[in-house]
Amino acid sequence: MIYREAGQFKTTYASDQAIFPIVQDRVVVALGVLAVFVLPTRFANEYWLQAILIPFLIYALAALGLNLLTGYAGQLSLGTGGFMAVGAYAAFKLSTAFPSLSIVIVFLLSGLIAALVGVVFGIPSLRIKGFYLAVATLAAQFFLIWLFNKVAWFVNYAPSGTITAPSRTVLGVTVTGPTASAAARYVLALVFVAVFALIAKNLVRGRIGRSWMAIRDRDIAAEIIGVRPLRTKLLAFAISSFYCGIAGAELVFLYLGSAETLAFDIGLSFLVLFMVIIGGLGSVLGSFLGAAFIVLVPIFLTNAPHVMGLSLPVAFQKQLELMVFGGLIIFFLIVEPHGLARLWQITKEKLRLWPFPH
């Protein structure tokens, strides 16, 4: 009875096209955004911020980027780790070459550089589709990681081959480097993900997003009504890589502190792809749900036996974790192949009628 849209009449098309057309949604989202900005910075401890919330936000941004490309534009990519590496190494080079440049600008520029690289590796998408495109993007993944390993210029000739986030401030608060507090890094990551989630939502409900989905659903029909496939696909690659590039820069600057190419290997590409598939292809919310699932469930599984008072051998528990995690992924994919976002949508549909059966 709480979740009712009855009596909320839309009198303009603008209000009908709003992101949250129902008043209850708007209230909940506004309160939610306020809560995630205020509560964790006040009450969460260092462990929660560093081990759970910050990686969640960064992965959510990367998943958002991949979802625009794979979920909305229908172009399967396994190069996410490579594009994130481009963002990370670009941010490292930019921030060390121009120490006075604001870190926010550095992140945005790194995203733009990743976008350019994404466009280059997106060119084959005009000719190849589906699994074959996935293999082509795999080439991007391996080539980029190889490049960053081989060319010492990217790591400023550091013998260790690692890149380290320098100390930088935003509005007088240290947000990167060894002295930055977890709360400051959390807020910066949150601002980025909130702004880019809004931008992604705007993109997908407007002309650009529709052209992506048209190419995804029926490319011949899309061409017939005037959608130009090359331009549309490359734009999807560019914007997706832009998101992934920023996420990659954040991964080093706001989470790991320092990293080598290993942090961006093919495993990362798969991880982000799993988030998108489990969360829901073609859903902005799904990117967040998928990232939360992949980040939170393993942590929950690690701590669950301890909380329940079971003391299992460490090696056994590690194996059990992987088995349960894998089982859960299969379970959710069987229950709802369209992802967690779809489950949420179904729940909302049911809530509209609850407690009446029809």
Min dist CB 66 to other proteins, Å, is 18
Min dist CB 53 to other proteins, Å, is 26
Min dist CB 231 to other proteins, Å, is 9
Q: Closer CB to other proteins, residue 180 or residue 222? A: 222
Q: Closer CB to other proteins, residue 225 or residue 308? A: 225
Determine which helix (DSSP H) or strand (DSSP E) holds 176, and give its type and residue range: strand 173-176
3-state secondary structure of 224: helix
Q: Closer CB to other proteins, residue 168 or residue 216? A: 216
Q: Are 286 and 340 in contact (CB under 8 A)?
A: yes
Pairing status of strand 173-176 against strand 258-259: unpaired
Q: Closer CB to other proteins, residue 209 or residue 279? A: 209
Min dist CB 96 to other proteins, Å, is 30
φ, ψ of residue 194 in degrees (nearest 5): -70, -45
Please, where are the H alpha helices in the chain? 13-16, 23-43, 46-47, 54-66, 80-97, 103-122, 130-150, 182-205, 207-217, 219-224, 229-250, 266-279, 284-307, 314-335, 340-353
* Interacting residues toward other proteins by CB under 8 A: 12-14, 16-17, 199, 202-203, 205-211, 213-214, 216-218, 220-228, 235, 239, 282
Min dist CB 235 to other proteins, Å, is 7
Joined together, the tokens standing for residue 278 give 């489990």
φ, ψ of residue 173 in degrees (nearest 5): -105, 130
3-state secondary structure of 209: helix
Q: Closer CB to other proteins, residue 295 or residue 340? A: 340
Q: Closer CB to other proteins, residue 208 or residue 340? A: 208
3-state secondary structure of 338: coil
Min dist CB 236 to other proteins, Å, is 11
